[in-house]
Amino acid sequence: MSGLRVAVVGATGAVGREMWRLLEASPLPVSSAVAYASPRSAGTELSFRGAPVAVRALDETSFQPVDLVLASAGAGPSREWSPRFAGAGAVVIDNSSAFRSTHPLVVPEVNPGALDADAAIFANPNCSTIQMVVALAPLHREWGLAAVRAATYQSVSGAGARALDELVRSTRRALDGDDEEPAVFPHPIAFNVIPHIGTFADSGETTEEIKMRQETRKILDLPGLPVSAVCVRVPVLRGHSEAVWASFERAPDPARARVLLAEAGIRVEDDPARARYPLPREAAGLEDVFVGRVRRDPSDPVGLVLWVVADNLLKGAATNAVQIALALAARGRLAQGAGA
């Protein structure tokens, strides 16, 4: 193989930076790397395996055919450009919500079969969904998942690099007794929690809460699964946490659940007597999904309660996207012009 021409769309964003870094560190053979970003970030410079790469605005002039695209620039740009790249021969792994309902939606260790689809665009799921289905899949295989309720504690980095800046800046100002008007969030995020991620549907749910249901159903191939989420932004920089109530067809066992989770590659941190359970600040920067506080649901004889944490920019986004790329490469699906 002569090496892949790769591009990252949104390369200077919170997720795109991680995609770039993980691609660089991956075993994929890369002959050229292209960094696309918004016009605001164009002109800055990145490096890829030692070579300088100028960041370009993505437009008719700069567009060029490549073999692999990792896209994380939002649903609008994705709708416009991901099909263009695919049409010009690329395999596109798209982190936006644009293709999740229509294209293969993949968490490689959960539904690898979706990688065999005859598709040029693969959708990367929502961050909160990825870590939850990673934790639920091995339990579902054992006991049959019947219903899920989840309350999330989502870090600001899920809203992008500007959101990180807003939390840091507004926290400093709040400590000085001074408030500023929020720009990224609908309310001040410093020392606050905000039960509003995405936009509201008529049902009273947010788009984030709806994604958690629709994407969980699709990835686990359980189209009627009851899933009810409450998604909340918390003043954490990086790392999403989730309180998950899972109900099964057959009575689960917490000790056996811990074994199944560990066997599935999940980092089980569950020693409450020593105050060991997953924490977002400890998960930040790591590529695993962490589960702890596994216990019987005292309100449900066939229920378990779990605490699930992962770095939303890594397994919740960039890591999962690169894992899709590697899995496609292992299937011989990544090569010059393979996506055409």
Spatial contact of 139 and 263, defined as CB atoms under 8 Å apart? no
Q: Which of these is catalytic: 103, 127, 140, 231?
A: 127
Closest to a copy of itself by CB, 88 vs 147, is 147
The set of long-range contacts for 83-90, using a CB threshold of 8 Å and a minimum separation of 24, is: 83/121, 85/7, 86/120, 86/121, 86/339, 87/120, 88/340, 89/65, 89/336, 89/337, 89/338, 89/339, 89/340, 90/7, 90/65, 90/66, 90/120, 90/339
By three-state DSSP, how is residue 105 classified?
strand
Closest contact distance (angstroms) between CB of 295 and a copy of itself is 3
As a whole number of angstroms, the distance between CA 282 and CA 59 comes to 39
Cβ closest to a copy of itself, residue 30 vs residue 232? 232
CA 161 to chain centroid, in Å, comes to: 15
Q: What tokens were used for 175?
A: 């400590």
Residue ranges binding a copy of itself (CB under 8 A): 147-149, 151, 153, 167-168, 171-172, 175, 186-188, 191-196, 200, 203-206, 213, 226-228, 230, 232, 234-237, 241, 243, 245, 254, 272-273, 275, 277, 279-281, 292-300, 303, 305, 307
Is 231 catalytic? The answer is no
Catalytic residue among 103, 140, 231, 240: 240
**CA 239/CA 287 separation, integer angstroms:** 11
CB of 207 to a copy of itself, least distance (A): 12
Minimum separation from the CB atom of position 242 to a copy of itself (A):
9
Nearer to a copy of itself, 42 or 151 (CB): 151
Least Å distance, CB 151 to a copy of itself, is 3
What's the token pair of residue 171? 């926290």
For the bound state, the minimum distance from the C-beta of residue 278 to a copy of itself, rounded and expressed in Å, comes to 8
Cβ proximity to a copy of itself: between 167 and 322 the closer is 167
Residue 178's CB: how many other CB atoms inside 10 A?
9
CB nearer a copy of itself, residue 85 or residue 307? 307
* Catalytic residue ranges: 127, 240
